[in-house]
Structure 1
Amino acid sequence: MDQLSAMQTFRRVVDLGSFSAAAVQAGVSHTVLSRQVKNLERQLGTQLLNRTTRRLQMTEAGALFYRHCVQILEQMQAMTLELSEHQQQPSGTLRLSVATAFGELELGRWLPDFVERHERLQIELNCTDRFVDLLEEEIDVCLRVTDHLPDSSLVARRLAASEVLLVAAPSYLERHGRPTSPEQLANHPLLGYSRLTHPQRLQLSDPQGEQREVLMPRRLSANSPMALRAAAIGGLGIASFDRFIVHDALRDGRLVPVLDGWQLPARTLYAVYPQSRYLAPKVRAFLDYVQAYYAHARWAD
């Protein structure tokens, strides 16, 4: 039995939580992977996994073996990369995942320059607003703008703060009046992002730290920030956006801020990637580039 291959299989099964998911990723049958792990257990003389119809759970010996697997496999990867002249420069395919609005509005500003700097690198871009499992979908780096990152084994590198603004079209405010207090927002429709838990609820704070929670009536909800942006520019109602989504529209006057002096909770732009002791040159080059790019304020007035 190829013990290194069996160790890779065991780690993949544990990371993905099932033989089925690991088999899909590896492109082999469930039976092949199950046999590999059973042979590994037989060779080691101990049970590594407790199997039920609903879940897999590592035994105490399995957890110990997993830790050693991770160390050995990452050392092998580091050695291979260091010895390979091909890998001394960023090369191969970089699999990148971003939210749709970020992909449409931000990538054009800097991705061409990054690609031109690394001629041996190809980009495979996945633009989606759904949750992406980086391990299962074999994504190298995900750029996320969020106010919360769930606990996980992934690494999250902070790149920039993302201010959230309440905005409307001048034409809307001319027809319906400009709200001057949080309470007056209840008389205006909110264009809500439907993927939020509470798309019609806003939490506002003033410079003195006073906080208000406002529930606004619904006129339009959508699962696309770009569709909501178009609706806001068209004068359909008030909406909240990350500044990068409406920066250009604010600059040319198609949208204007609403309720000066009150702020929505800011969010953060992160680069999220699988944990590894040795980053592939393509991943390291990308992370260094985006961190340097967003080290300077990009969405200031």
Structure 2
Amino acid sequence: MDKLSVMQAFRRIVDRGSFTRAAEDLGVSPALLSREIKLLEESLGSTLLIRTTRAMSLTDAGRVYYDEAAGILDAVNGVETRIRAGAGAVRGHLKVNASSSFGQTVIAPMLPAFLETHPDIRLSLSLDDRVVDMVEGGFDVSIRIRAAMPDSALLARKLGTMRQRIYAAPAYLDRAGTPETPADIAPHRVIGFLLADHLATWSLRNGTDSVSLDLDPPIRVGNSLVLRDLLISGMGIGTLPGFVSDSPVARGDLVRVLPDWELPAPEIFALTASRLGMDAKVTAFLTALRRALAA
């Protein structure tokens, strides 16, 4: 027995003063309503309605049940109304998870304008280079950078594509020489990214040409910003995503090595837990993030 449905039916019967009129309102047969009320009375062990051929009246128990049921139904309707009214409002606690490098170089710079535009948002930004369980962590959205997302109960929305290229400091190249072909990488000190699929194997592409380099990086780090700083200091050659390399390249701290070659470009995904759609605060955040990535 669906208690809320039965409560609604009982309330409608009393309000309309008739099984027939209540049945018409609810789109069911009077016989079905009669059976439901009989089952309700049997479950309660009490008579709620006294019916004759000419009239219907509430018993004392029926009046108590009607008053309490009306309060419960009004409370449920009130909650639903407030939820619907707030569904389009950009407010509430937004919990975001991302990698340290992406969070510091892409998300952090966009936050002042985003929070100024949406002052009713409370933000928790968790930066972690490990892949976390976003449902267990209670995150509304998690930013992941992958070649592809595996099938799961999470919903992945593609935000953009990330360039992945080879860089070194001018001073390092002046000292160690500038590679002219992919094969020239082998004698160089390679700094590897521990969390990347290409830690020990670089699959390079140049148009339709491709080559695979098997490497054994003597220096391996698990953070792109640390890798960037090591490259700037002249420690070797390594790969960086575009959102990390753009600024030091613009300043002249790094230069691109083998400019005609690059690694496969992974995708930037936003993962959310619900397949029923996003609430307004998540939608607003992802809209701002897409703008930041486009800029």
Q: TM-score over 0.5 for the alignment?
A: yes
Residue type matched to 1:144 in 2?
R
212-221 or 89-98: which moved more? 212-221
- Paired with 1:129 and 1:249, the residues of 2 have a C-alpha distance of 22
**Cα-to-partner distance string for 1:86-137 (whole Å, 9 max, x where unaligned):** 5541211100001000111112321111111111111011100111212111
Give the drift of 1:279.
2.5
- Paired with 2:183 and 2:96, the residues of 1 have a C-alpha distance of 42
Question: What does residue 237 of structure 1 align with?
Answer: 236
Residue type matched to 2:111 in 1?
L
Question: What does residue 269 of structure 1 align with?
Answer: 268
- Paired with 2:259 and 2:109, the residues of 1 have a C-alpha distance of 29
Go from structure 1 to structure 2 and tell me whether the alpha carbon gap of 1:212 and 1:88 turns closer, same or farther (over 3 Å shift): closer
- Paired with 2:240 and 2:3, the residues of 1 have a C-alpha distance of 51
For the 8 Å contact 1:188–1:216, the answer to whether it is kept is no
Residue type matched to 2:263 in 1?
L
1:132 paired with 2:132, answer yes
- Paired with 2:3 and 2:164, the residues of 1 have a C-alpha distance of 51
Structure 2 gap segments, 5+ residues each: 5-75
Residue type matched to 1:247 in 2?
D
For the 8 Å contact 1:96–1:141, the answer to whether it is kept is yes
Question: What does residue 117 of structure 1 align with?
Answer: 117
- Paired with 1:121 and 1:137, the residues of 2 have a C-alpha distance of 19
144-153 or 276-285: which moved more? 276-285
Residue type matched to 2:244 in 1?
I
For the 8 Å contact 1:187–1:217, the answer to whether it is kept is no
Question: What does residue 210 of structure 1 align with?
Answer: 209
Residue type matched to 1:151 in 2?
D
SS at match of 2:157: strand
Structure 1 gap segments, 5+ residues each: 5-75
For the 8 Å contact 2:165–2:261, the answer to whether it is kept is no
Equivalence map 1:1-301=2 (5 Å): 80=80, 83=83, 85-197=85-197, 199-207=199-207, 209-294=208-293, 296=294, 298=295
Decide which structure has the larger Cα Rg and report it: 2
82-91 or 142-151: which moved more? 82-91
SS at match of 1:246: helix
SS at match of 2:234: coil
Question: What does residue 39 of structure 1 align with?
Answer: none
- Paired with 2:197 and 2:143, the residues of 1 have a C-alpha distance of 21
Give the drift of 1:268.
1.5
Q: What is the aligned residue count?
A: 222
Q: Percent identity?
A: 29
* TM-score scaled by length of structure 1: 0.68
SS at match of 2:180: coil
SS at match of 1:272: strand
Give the drift of 1:195.
2.2
Give the drift of 1:275.
2.2
**Cα-to-partner distance string for 1:8-64 (whole Å, 9 max, x where unaligned):** xxxxxxxxxxxxxxxxxxxxxxxxxxxxxxxxxxxxxxxxxxxxxxxxxxxxxxxxx
Residue type matched to 1:291 in 2?
R
SS at match of 1:245: helix
Go from structure 1 to structure 2 and tell me whether the alpha carbon gap of 1:139 and 1:202 turns closer, same or farther (over 3 Å shift): same
For the 8 Å contact 2:162–2:241, the answer to whether it is kept is yes
Go from structure 1 to structure 2 and tell me whether the alpha carbon gap of 1:205 and 1:93 turns closer, same or farther (over 3 Å shift): same
- Paired with 1:199 and 1:267, the residues of 2 have a C-alpha distance of 14
SS at match of 2:109: helix
Go from structure 1 to structure 2 and tell me whether the alpha carbon gap of 1:83 and 1:187 turns closer, same or farther (over 3 Å shift): closer
For the 8 Å contact 1:233–1:255, the answer to whether it is kept is yes
